[in-house]
Each structure stands twice: as C-alpha cells, then as structure tokens.
C-alpha cells in the first residue's frame, strides 16, 4: 500500500519516488484548460528560500516553490531571481510573507502565465 509520501530512499522493500530540485534551470510550464502558471520576481537575497501561496479555493490550496536565479533569454550573465509555479489550478492566490501574512493577490487563469514583482 502506498502512502503517497516520497522519501527519495530505496529501502529494499519498495522504491520511493524522488523529486530532484531544479535549482533555477529552465522551467517547463504545464498550462492549459483550467491550469495556469505564476512567475514571481524576487530580490536576490531570497535565492535559496521558498515562496508560499495560499488560494481562495474551498478548501484552500497551499503550495510553495524555491526561489532561484534564472537566466533571462538564455543568457547566463543576465539572471533574475524568481519563484516559478509551473502548474496552478485557476483561481485567486495570495503570496505570503515568512509569517504567513498575505502580501500580494494574483488571479491565475487557465492556459496563461501570470507574473508578480515582489522585489523591495
């Protein structure tokens, strides 16, 4: 019986799935139908941290992703610090601060990519 929890370890009895972190590689957006995406531009000091979102769905969807430096237009010398949410169910989401307080509201539409700028 699967618990749905991924440990990334092979125990010999069963093989758990691993989910390697991208760490700023090119994102692949999985959008269409009722699924959209979000790119949040961040200050460079946020690299290595996570950005959390909470939706206004019932029940709310809570999700997070890492903030990494990403090449702009394929140029490694031109980077932006960003959190990329490659697959979000359409609806209204709040970007949260470290304490879970709402910072910025964003509407996600299926088949589209939204963006917010959280730089100070």
Give the CATH number of the domain where residue 59 resides. 2.60.40
Domain count, the chain: 1
Structure tokens at 6: 């991924």
In a domain, 78, yes or no: yes
| Model confidence, pTM | 0.78
In a domain, 14, yes or no: no
Q: What is the DSSP letter of 22?
A: -
The residue segments making up the domain with residue 58 are 35-117
Q: Where are the alpha helices (DSSP H) in the chain?
A: none
In a domain, 18, yes or no: no
Task: Walk along the chain (120 residues) and give the pLDDT tens digit of each residue.
Answer: 333 333 333 334 433 444 455 566 778 888 999 999 999 999 999 999 999 999 999 999 999 999 999 888 766 678 899 999 999 999 999 999 989 999 999 999 999 999 999 998
In a domain, 101, yes or no: yes
In a domain, 10, yes or no: no
Torsion sign over Cα 54, 95, 30, 36: positive
In a domain, 12, yes or no: no
């Amino acid at each position: 019986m699967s618990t749905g929890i991924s440990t990334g370890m092979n125990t010999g009895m069963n093989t758990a799935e691993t989910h390697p972190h991208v760490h700023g590689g090119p994102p692949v957006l999985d959008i269409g139908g009722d699924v959209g995406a979000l790119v949040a531009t961040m200050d460079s000091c946020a690299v290595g941290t996570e950005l959390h979102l909470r939706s206004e769905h019932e029940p709310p969807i809570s999700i997070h992703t890492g903030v990494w430096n990403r090449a702009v237009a394929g140029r490694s010398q031109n980077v932006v610090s960003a959190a990329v949410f490659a697959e979000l169910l359409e609806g209204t989401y709040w970007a949260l601060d470290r304490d879970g307080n709402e910072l910025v509201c964003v509407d996600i539409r299926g088949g589209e990519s939204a963006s917010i700028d959280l730089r100070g």
